[in-house]
Structure 1
Amino acid sequence: MVNVTYDASGDLNSPVGGVFNMGDIAWTLASTALVWIMIPGVGFFYSGLLRRKNALNMIYLSMMTIAVVSFQWFFWGYSLAFSDTASPYIGNLKYFALRNVLDQPSIGSVKVPAIVFCVFQLMFAAITPMIAIGAVAERSRLGPLTAFVFFWSTLVYDPIACWTWNSNGWSFVLGGLDFAGGTPVHISSGTAALAISLYLGKRRGWGTERLAYKPHNTTYVILGTVFLWFGWFGFNGGSALSANLRATQACIVTNLAASVGGLTWMFWDYRLERKWSVVGFCSGAISGLVAITPGSGYVGSPAAVLFGFMAGTVCNFATQLKFIFKFDDTLDIFASHAIGGIVGNILTGLFAQASVAGADGITIIPGGWLDHNYRQLGIQLADSVSGLAYSFVMTTIILWIMHYIPGLRLRCDEETEILGVDDAEMGEFAYDYVGIESELMPRSEYNAGASGGSREPRHTAATTSQVSEPEKDPKVGET
């Protein structure tokens, strides 16, 4: 039993001296809930961008990831990332099964207990593999992904989190500035998505009109963006681990960068199609959120405008990389997260300010180029390249080891891809009906198939033999 005592102000007394601030605990726990809602937010965002026949499994994967990583974090993930006797690269099993993780001061802040810090960091550990496995969209078996998430969290996320945020980590000691996860979350997941895309190969019909479809549910895309934007206040603001001015500043720049990023991406798309794309706006907002993540506790509000603009611009153009190098990154995860994270890390090296970091009354940094600390850019680049290279190589190794273990190969067969992963792997659908006519019939028989820029065909429960002649007319019943 823990002997809990309070001081005169009502705050908790630490068992080793000092005080746990109740307000800081409350803010960190509230931020934990905010970040949790981001994880299904990623699922809804991804689901909306896909075809109807693959809409449900992405939402399922978001919930599966929460469950698997929650166990992994309890089992050894937290200890591997945040044990206070860690090596420069990875922790040990000092806190295996959360042993002795309760009322001791956390490695992140002496003002919150270890158990609060642990559950907050769990949310970061859970959302990262979910971002990455969006790359399996429309062409993966679901069962092996539970094993992949466990292995990837252990071998990729935990080491990068350790060297970035653990006080013993090499990047932390070197002076790397990453407030909320530019490298551990975004560069690692975005690069893993690239490795997954290369391993799985292209979807059936890649490079043809068949895959030139628009998102099947734009409302899901908006809903996912709402969850992400809303939760990002906890993602960045909560990383201060305290209810103070630095957390407030992090929330201000988070919202500003998202706003500018959304507008920038939308304007770039408008120049091509003369349409005000809400999908473009949402994509830009997320790229702005990604970029501001590493710098949110270090940069001022004017810099946040540049973060949003650069992310909305660079990530927008980076979506063309998959066509140049011919890889099937279905949801542009590499462009939005890996490239966006690199943009954020570089800009943090340029615009970090000691005065902003010191708004919490504790943190002391030399700043970036604005404070004439010119070596900071080199440190940020070293951290970015290390995270990118490590994630890509280790993810590829995990995928190919699983490839040769019976039952763990990720790539689905062609029949599953045609029917849709929801039907073949789950036997459930996001909606009542899923359109498969365009996949199973030649265009000469059914000319309502998805083509360049068009919506999906009419959805019906009828089979080919049950469809009457009037129903085969693509003009009947269309809206």
Structure 2
Amino acid sequence: MELRGVYNLTNIRRADTNQYDRGDLSFIIVAGAMVFLMVPGLAFLYSGLSRRKSALSLIWAVCASNAVVIFQWYFWGYSLAFSTSATNGYIGNLKNFGLMKVMADPSPGSPLIPEILYSFFQMEFGCVTAAILMGGLAERGRVFPAMVFIFIWMTLVYCPLACWVWSTHGWAFKWGVLDFAGGGPVEIGSGIGGLAFSWVLGRRQERELLNFRPHNVSLVGLGTFLLWFGWIGFNGGSAFGANLRAIFAIWNTMVAASFAGMVWCLLDYRIERHWSMVGLCSGTIAGLVAATPSSGFLHPWSSVVVGILSGALCNFATKIKFIVRIDDALDLFAEHAVGGIIGLLLNAFFASTTIIAADDVNIGIPGGWIDRNWKQLYMQVAYVIATCAYTFVVTALIAKGVDLIPGLQLRSTAEGERLGMDEVEIGEFASDYIEIRRDVTDSRWPSDISDGTKGLYDAPVAGGDRHGHPDLEIRRVASQEANGNGTTGPRISSELPLEPIFEKPENGQIT
């Protein structure tokens, strides 16, 4: 009798799932796996863009935030974003707490796939958003408090933003805002959120900003192209089926990314007279970001405009952080917030009813100006203003609240920042090897101290031990010995100079 009951239950489940096309199911499973690959892509991108002494801490923060978001989404995140019984238009309820009752029913986003698959795919969006936001930690943030912050942020910021525009009860959804794959929840959420987080965290020490360059541009390139690959699933999968709209979304993603990369690179060339790899990667990401909200609405020719504008405007937006004096180290605002805003606003001009209907589900939805829908622009503008304002204010409040909890201070100490986050937070290093010096500011070069201590600090230093900086205790003892226990002789400062001191030999060459 028990076996018969199991058999009958199996038949019921099989009948429920037969309503879905196996090709659609397979496509979204693969697309979700592609989106997951964006997490290590971001980890490598951020690591390559940082100094060597903080490279591993950013990889750790991105990977750990992925685990935190998976738990949060399973625990109550999905329910707060997509529960179908909530009707307030701003945030869901706990109907699907712990994924309860999330089974084979058609999903809130599309009848083409079951809700359990939809919850997995949307979870990966949350993971990527949190991973982007972790760039705000760059070179001065503590990683454990950041994990507490990201759990709260996902609950109070990301879930409401997702509910607004993707839930069938969300106010932006019912109003008719066009946001295909997350210009609001993902891009504005992470970009404006990163700006607010960086503002609360504070600027890095000025000495850490001198002579700053990415420590590994190869990792920047690798991370960018892992992101590009994942973004194909990110945007293509947002059609929720193996259909023509997904193909248009993929084409638009490719076109926007390529044009934005070329434009950014050309703009950098006019100043640097070099073909910057970092510039090419930055522009490519800007185009991918702008394609996120627009790729499922546009004809491919419109994405040429999306790519050109995002490449140019996001490039210029990198200067805003200097104006507002917020140390947005990895340009989360310029890349993600500005790129997302561009894509959302261009939907008002170029969104096409024909492309929207290419999934055979969203029939008759009005497009933008090309379909003579003149009111779409103010709807998009209002949505952008609402998401930006809500994200900045609530993110800043969450960050400040966490920072005030004893033991959860978000910012490392000045000494920890000097040593690097890898040493003080992780205890391991992305690149651990022997070198003579790490930075031009580590000591005098070439050292030539008149009291006979030439070469005092020239011994090779283990890259993972002190990151090129002699230990402060060694400096103190050496200084006392050179000064006769502090009473006579020339003084050797225990502080690093803010600027490199170059001494010119008699032959006129610095060697």
Please report the TM-score for the alignment, with normalisation by the length of structure 1: 0.90
**Cα deviation 1:452-473 (Å, max 9, x = unaligned):** xxxxx99841874999xxxx99
Alignment-derived partner of residue 485 in structure 2: none
Partner of 1:233: 232
How much identity, in percent, do the aligned residues show? 47
Report the CA distance shift for 1:459/1:321 in structure 2 as closer, same or farther (over 3 A). Answer: farther
Aligned residue for 2:378? 378
1:407 Cα offset (Å)? 1.4
| Contact kept in structure 1, 2:191 and 2:334, CA below 8 Å | yes
Structure 1: 5+ residue stretches without partners: 448-456
User: Post-superposition shift, 1:133?
Assistant: 1.9
CA contact (8 A) 2:24 2:112 kept: yes
1:344-366 deviation per Cα after TM superposition (whole angstroms, max 9, x unaligned): 10001110000011111221311
2:65 and 2:131 in contact (8 A); partners too? yes
Deviation of 1:142 after TM superposition, in Å, equals: 1.1
Between the aligned partners of 1:37 and 1:45, the Cα distance in structure 2 is 12
Quote the Cα distance in structure 2 between the aligned partners of 1:82 and 1:474.
65
User: Structure 2 CA distance, aligned partners of 1:13 and 1:177?
Assistant: 34
Structure 1 residues 459 and 239, CA, compared in 2 at 3 Å: closer, same or farther? Answer: farther
Partner residue of 2:70?
Answer: 70
Per the alignment, residue 450 of structure 1 pairs with none
| Distance in structure 2 (CA, Å) of the matches to 1:147 and 1:71 | 12
Q: Measured at CA, do residues 431 and 237 of structure 1 come closer, stay the same or move farther in structure 2, by a change above 3 Å?
A: same
Q: Aligned to 2:116, what secondary structure does the other structure show?
A: helix
Q: Which residue of 1 aligns with 2:507?
A: none
What is aligned with 1:318?
Answer: 317
Q: Which has the higher contact order (CA 8 A, sep 6+)?
A: 1
The 1:230–1:459 alpha-carbon spacing in structure 2 relative to 1, beyond 3 Å, is farther
TM-score by length of structure 2 reads 0.85
* CA spacing shift, 1:125–1:193, aligned 2, 3 Å: same
Paired with 2:102 and 2:75, the residues of 1 have a C-alpha distance of 12
Corresponding position of 1:408: 408
Report the equivalent of 2:497: none
2:297 counterpart letter in structure 1:
Y
Contact 1:44 1:59 in 2 (8 A): yes
Question: Partners of 1:459 and 1:115 in 2: how far apart?
Answer: 56
8 Å Cα contact 2:446/2:502 also seen in 1:
no
Cα deviation, 1:396-442, whole Å, max 9, x if unaligned, reads: 11011112211111011011100000011111000113877649844
The structural deviation recorded for 1:47 is: 0.8
In structure 2, what is the equivalent of residue 163 of structure 1?
Answer: 164
Could you list the per-position Cα deviations for residues 365-390 of structure 1 after superposition, in whole angstroms to 9, with x for gaps in the alignment?
Answer: 11001101011111111111111111
Letter in 2 for 1:322: K
**Mapped contact 1:35–1:231 kept (Cα < 8 A):** yes
Partner residue in 1 for 2:138? 137
Amino acid at match of 1:107: P
In structure 2, the partner of 1:243 is 242
Is 1:103 matched up with 2:104?
yes
Specify the code of the residue in structure 1 equivalent to 2:212: Y
* Counterpart amino acid of residue 133 in structure 1: M
Deviation per CA, 1:121-144, whole angstroms, max 9, x where unpaired?
A: 000011112111201100111111
Instruction: Look up the match of 1:14.
Output: 16
- Tell me the equivalent position of 1:394: 394
The equivalent residue for 1:262 is 261
Structure 2 CA distance for partners of 1:197 and 1:22, relative to 1, 3 Å? same
- Number of the residue aligned with 1:176: 177
Residue 112 of structure 1: aligned partner? 113
Contact (CA 8 Å) 1:106, 1:114: kept in 2 or not? yes
1:453 alignment partner in structure 2: none
- In structure 2, relative to structure 1, the CA distance for the partners of 1:370 and 1:411 (3 Å cut) is same
Q: Distance in 1 between matches of 2:32 and 2:196?
A: 29
- The answer to whether the Cα contact below 8 Å between 1:12 and 1:19 also exists between their aligned partners in 2 is no
1:359 match: 358
State the match for 2:417 in structure 1.
417
Structure having the higher Rg:
2
Deviation at 1:214, TM superposition (A): 1.8
Distance apart, 1:14 and its partner CA: 2.6
The answer (yes or no) to whether the contact 2:445–2:502 under 8 Å persists in 1 is no
Residues 156, 463 of structure 1: alpha-carbon distance in 2 compared, 3 angstrom cutoff = closer
Q: What SS is found at the alignment partner of 2:294?
A: coil
Matched to 2:361, the amino acid is: I
Structure 1 equivalent of residue 289 of structure 2: 290
Question: 3-state DSSP class of the match of 2:206?
Answer: coil
Question: For 1:446 and 1:95, how far apart are their aligned partners in 2?
Answer: 66
Once the two structures are TM-superposed, the CA of residue 67 in structure 1 deviates from its matched residue by 0.5
Q: Secondary structure at the match of 2:311?
A: helix
**Take 1:308 and 1:419, find their aligned partners in 2: how far apart are those partners?**
40
Q: What are the Cα deviations for residues 50-108 of structure 1, in whole angstroms up to 9, with x where unaligned? A: 10001111111121011000000000000000100122000000000001112122111
Contact in 2 for aligned 1:12/1:20 (Cα 8 Å): no
Q: CA deviation at 1:474?
A: 12
**In the aligned structure 2, how far is the partner of 1:256 from the partner of 1:163?**
29
CA distance in 2, matches of 1:262, 1:139: 29
From the superposition, tell whether residues 21 and 12 of structure 1 become closer, same or farther in structure 2 (CA, over 3 Å): farther
Out of 348-357 and 434-443, give the one that drifted further.
Answer: 434-443
- In the alignment, what sits opposite 1:57? 57
Distance change (3 Å), C-alpha of 1:241 and 1:5 = farther
AA of the residue aligned to 1:386:
A
Shift of 1:34: 0.3
Aligned residue pairs, count: 456
Distance in 2 separating the partners of 1:202 and 1:420: 15
**Which residue type is aligned with residue 159 of structure 2?**
D
Unaligned runs of 5+ in 2: 1-5, 449-457, 463-467, 476-500, 505-510
Instruction: Point out the more displaced range, 264-273 or 109-118.
Output: 109-118
Residues 176 and 379, structure 1, Cα contact 8 Å, conserved in 2:
yes
| Backbone CA RMSD of aligned residues | 2.7
